[in-house]
Homo-oligomer: A and B are copies of this chain.
Amino acid sequence: MRISELSARSGVAIPTIKYYLREGMLHQGEQTAATRAEYDGTHLRRLRMIRALLEVGRLSVASIKKVIESVEDESLPTHEMLGTAHYALSPAVEPEPDEEWQAARADVDALVEELGWDVHSDAPTRDELAQTIVRMRQLGVSIDLAPYAEAARKLVAEVEMGTIPFDGPRDAAVEALVLGTVLYGRAFDALRRMAQESESARRMTH
């Protein structure tokens, strides 16, 4: 298909497609004439993935670029590629140089240990959770993370992991992991806010 059809079918404007091509986020089409290239289903799928990560995942273009680079770097072993792509999904969190932060981070490390989870000591999710705990404590929001950890583990082990083709081609595995992380995450978040509305309504009218 030509770029105009690719644009129409993906819902991504032509200048944006050209930007992704220049940035290497989208592979070149097959040049059929000096000013004309042909695109195919792989281009359409990549554009839909970028759009989902932008709109649904609310990732920055820089983060999406990192995800795509790790998929395309053939020298990375599969588990490192998955790790790099996965870490790119975490928001950048700056550790704060005070005791509150250190206490929260120590609590996160203790929780991971207690859960027996296999999470790298440098994983950005540890700092992300530490930041959340610091903010909760400053605001006096009490928290027991155990039921959240158990619900997360259950959904990941029983639903999400089954959808990832670990034995297939590497880009299929990373795409499934990244999209699953982002899309199931948004779905869960919307459902949780629906449940809050529903439970609030019940408690206020009874």
A97 to B123, CA, bound (A): 41
Residues of B within 8 A of A188 (CB): 148, 151-152, 188, 192
For the complex formed, measure the closest distance between the CB of A151 and the CB atoms of chain B, giving whole angstroms: 5
Picked from B52, B83, B151, B204, the residue with its CB within 8 Å of the CB of A197 is: B83
A204 to B157, CA, bound (A): 14
Contact B157 A195 (CB under 8 A): yes
Q: Is A28 on the interface with B (CB-CB < 8 A)?
A: no
* Closest B residue, CB atoms, query A45: B139
Report the separation of the CA atoms of residues A146 and B71 in the bound assembly, to the nearest whole angstrom.
Answer: 31
Stretch in A19-27, A61-69, A114-122 touching the partner = A114-122
**B139 to A197, Cβ gap below 8 A?**
no
Contacts of A203 in B (CB 8 A): 161, 166
> Could you say which residues of chain B place their CB within 8 Å of the CB of A195?
117, 149, 152-153, 155-157
Interfacial chain B residues near A132, Cβ < 8 Å:
56, 183, 186-187, 190
Q: Is the CB of B153 within 8 A of A181?
A: no
Residues in chain B near residue A112, CB distance under 8 A: 194
- Of residues 157 through 206 on chain A, the ones whose CB sits less than 8 Å from some CB of chain B are 157-161, 163-164, 166, 176-177, 179-181, 183-205
A91: chain B residues at CB < 8 Å are 58
* Docked CA distance A55–B130 (Å): 13
User: What is the CB-to-nearest-CB distance from A205 to chain B, in angstroms, rounded to a whole number?
Assistant: 8
Give the B-binding residues of A (Cβ under 8 A).
45, 48-49, 51-52, 55-56, 58, 78-79, 82-83, 86, 89-91, 112, 117-120, 123, 125-126, 128-129, 131-133, 135-136, 138-139, 141-145, 147-149, 151-161, 163-164, 166, 176-177, 179-181, 183-205
